[in-house]
Amino acid sequence: MKSQMTGQKMFMAGKWVGRQRTIEVRNPQDNSFIDTVPAASQEDMLQCIEEAKEGAKISAAMPIHKRMSIIQKAADFIEDNHHTFVFTIAREGSKTIREATKEVNRSVQTLRISAEEARRIHGETISFDQMPECENRVGYFQRMPIGIIGAITPYNDPLNLVAHKVGPAIAAGNAIIVKPATVTPLSALLLAEAFSTAGLPAKVLSVITGYGSEIGDTLVTHPAIRMISFTGDYETGEQIAKKAGLKKLSMELGSNSPVIVLKDANIEEAVKATVSGAFWAAGQNCLGVQRVFIEKDISDLFQKKFIKLVNKYHVGDKCLEQTDMGPLISETQAIKVENLVNEAIDRGAVLLTGGKRDGAYYLPTVLTNVPDECLLAKKEIFGPVVLFYTVSDLNEAIKKANNVDYGLQAGIFTNDIRKAHEAIAKMDVGGIMINDSSDFRIDAMPFGGTKHSGLGREGIKFAIQEMTEPKVVCYKLS
């Protein structure tokens, strides 16, 4: 496995290329040096797009069985090099070794599902004779690849979120150019190595490393790019939408996910799930639990049990099996979270536990009585902070949960099926988990949100729908 090579070169239209100008990749835990990657230029991106034009034709012409075989072999490669993938995620990002292991396992499933869904890209027959004077026409539509997809991926899931774009794109017969997060490019380059080793034809896939400010606009605005698949924050997504022009957009833009806990819930299960949901990957999780609305009869008990479990969390070295939570992606991000918490406390919020920073580490933090005007109450924190609210009933919980600009996923804990269905009907989110945390997800389900949480849906089958378009065929019979 050429992990050292791919840590120094980018995958440009099927070739490993280096550049004199490089970007250092560092471990956020101690800022130690890991490797360098090329700092691609605008000219590099333009060349890559030109190559991808041919790659799109090659990919579209590949028979389904070949696409399936290549994707399955890429998944095999990840399994065969499991430790390298896990170790790379854990070093360059924020995840603990246990969290990185789960991500690698999920990425294998993401690719295997992509291979299977390739065989299920179906069209439909059309009854043209539903219109008068069209009785002598028969036909159908079939789904066709759209061409070149530009994918921009974040640092919090540096392998699986790349796989969620690359797997469906290739399954659908497209070319794809990936611009991974600047701070976590190594996992994406390993995925490129997996596809190269699996026999993916040149020019179909590129993973271009560099600064978004230098190459991002070229990828987003180029007319040959027919779709942008972006995972990141709302502000960046809004700028992409303004610049992109006439092309498809698929965007997952985060959230400040709510969980409702009613008095008839299993409190032990609710506590365990919400603690995990709040502090997985140091809270850098678009589905992470940020706001918990607890029915007043059980509020004190739930809070005590929650804090007791949080205080048992082991925060430390990411590569130790016993570690529950590692650092944030950078000290800058930890300072940002610290400032948000301090602002809330200054405005009257009550700190129940945590609230301390050491470099890029920020302790799991719980607040209550957070004023509505605080940024913590309105925006996505993207850090290990959760807010408690006591509510009188389900209606109040739903009203407060909906009173934000986001709507990705939510959770509700209750044993009353009527209340569960009331929440399903009234909560303005893309997904609702019953008796589970908001951060539950499987890679085959449709994934996306309402309001500022994004456009379109990911999840392999649904991503393929976004990455293809119907072509109508009609035969006029003599």
Return the active site residues: 252, 286
Place of tokens 């569960």: 420
- Distance between CA atoms of 75 and 52, rounded to whole angstroms? 23
- The helix (run of H) or strand (run of E) holding residue 86 is helix 82-92
Distance, in Å, from the CA atom of 357 to the CA atom of 19, rounded to the nearest integer, reads: 37
Compute how many other C-beta atoms are within 10 angstroms of the C-beta atom of residue 3: 16
Amino acid at 17: V
Q: Quick one: DSSP state of residue 158?
A: T
DSSP secondary structure string for all residues of 424-477: HHH--SSEEEETS-TT---TTS-B--EETTEES-BSHHHHHHHTEEEEEEEEEP
**Side chain identity at residue 237, one-letter code:** G
CB contact burial 149-170 (16+ within 10 A = b; e otherwise): bbbbbbbbbbbbbbbbbbbbbb
Which residue bears the tokens 């990002």?
93
Q: Which of 51, 22, 3, 32 is nearest to 210 (CA)?
A: 22
Indicate left, alpha or beta for 203 from its phi (over 0: left) and psi (-120 to 50: alpha): left
Provide the b/e sequence for 180-189 (b: ≥16 CB within 10 Å).
bbbbbbbbbb
Q: Which two tokens stand for residue 183?
A: 């701070």
Closest CA to 93 of 36, 34, 5: 34
Instruction: Compute the distance between CA of residue 279 and CA of residue 257 in angstroms, rounded to an integer.
Output: 13
DSSP assigned state of 8: T
